[in-house]
Amino acid sequence: MKMRSVGIIGTGKYVPERVLTNADLEKMVDTNDEWIVSRTGIRERHIAAPEQATSDLAYEAAVRALKSAGMTADQLELIIVATITPDTSFPSTACILQDKLGAKHAAAFDLSAACSGFVYSMATANGFIQTGMYKNALIIGADTLSRITDYTDRNTCVLFGDGAGAVIVGEVPEGRGFLSFDLGAEGAGGDLLKLAAGGSRLPASEATVEGKQHYIYMNGREVFKFAVRVMGTATEEVLRKAGKTKEDIDLFVPHQANIRIIQSAMQRLDLPEERCVINVDKYANTSAASIPLALVEAAEEGRIKEGDTVLLVGFGGGLTWGASVLVW
């Protein structure tokens, strides 16, 4: 069976209006701008308004992506929302979004792979479209990490922000679109980065609230080591699968968690920082939204031209990683 070529045919992004700066955080916990900038590269992050949930951020990004693809919501056949901060455990955020958009003909589900969720979702949609099961899909990485961040813990509260990035994927001419994916997981490292309570293992109770177990727990140093390692190995593997070398890549779009992780990866690959998208300074780590926010922003700024080869690579809770090479 001849597989269809699948690629990105529309893009959109959204970040909430409110900006939380390092100076604001200095008033909340024992930290300072110099520490945050030198250890992470982050200067500010956007925080959702109290009435905004993940589906609201996703909706804004989705509307823009549909417009850029020249499509209406009722033409959509599949919606995947990559998120670890769904509006509710169920219904899924994708179903809530399907209703908001009026995407009556779309199947809809959420995908949980933390910061790797967007690449996992694109790989999933690619499979559906390649085999002809669906013609198109709306893929959104959206997270409202501010809702699961402990703003009294300086180790984590400086790192995260809220946002959403969306793409429409569909059939593209041969030679364009996705060339390869590399997805992986190391479940043994799951305890290094997690939200302990609120699931079937540890349902919400007074004790879990008191124990702050509804907030992100992270062993930063261990996650850092994992990140630097898999950014390198996943990049090499996804290039090999695409039959490309690092010199063929016009733009790297890495997960925006920490500028030092991005710089270590670029050094390891011996590539100049100019070939890499960096916006962690403005948005901090937005989990599943991070890669699409960086990709869409780069496209909107004219940094990606038709025919360019782009490499996406991310890592996150699970532990997971995901990478893709695509021709724009």
The contact pattern for ligand UT7, residues 225-254, with x = CB under 6 A and - = no contact, is --x---------------------------
258 binds ligand UT7 (CB under 6 A): yes
Contacts of 126 (CB under 8 A, 6+ apart): 6, 169, 178, 181
The contact pattern for ligand UT7, residues 303-322, with x = CB under 6 A and - = no contact, is -------------x------
Verify whether residue 115 is a known catalytic residue: yes
- The tokens for 38 are 């030198």
Active-site residue among 95, 115, 157, 276?
115
Examine residue 192 and say whether the peptide bond preceding it is cis (omega within 30 degrees of 0): no
Q: What is the DSSP string of 39-101?
A: HH---EEEE--TT--HHHHHHHHHHHHHHHHT--GGG--EEEEE-SS-SSSSS-HHHHHHHHH
Verify whether residue 46 is a known catalytic residue: no
Q: Is 152 helix (H, G, I), strand (E, B) or coil?
A: coil
Contacts of 228 (CB under 8 A, 6+ apart): 261, 264, 265, 268
By C-beta, is 155 or 279 nearer to ligand UT7? 155
CA 95 and chain centroid, separation: 19
Residue whose token pair is 């929302």: 81
Verify whether residue 157 is a known catalytic residue: no
The stretch near ligand UT7 (CB under 6 A) out of 102-110, 177-185, 213-221, 302-310 is: 213-221
The contact pattern for ligand UT7, residues 146-185, with x = CB under 6 A and - = no contact, is --------xx--x---------------------------
213 binds ligand UT7 (CB under 6 A): no
Residues numbered 79-138 forming contacts with ligand UT7, rule: CB under 6 A? 115
The whole-angstrom separation of Cα 71 and Cα 138 is: 11
Query: CB of 79: closest distance to ligand UT7 in angstroms?
Result: 24
What does the binding site for ligand UT7 look like in residue numbers (CB under 6 A)?
Answer: 31, 35-36, 39-40, 115, 154-155, 158, 193, 218, 220-221, 223-224, 227, 257-258, 285, 316
The residues carrying an active-site annotation are 115, 255, 285
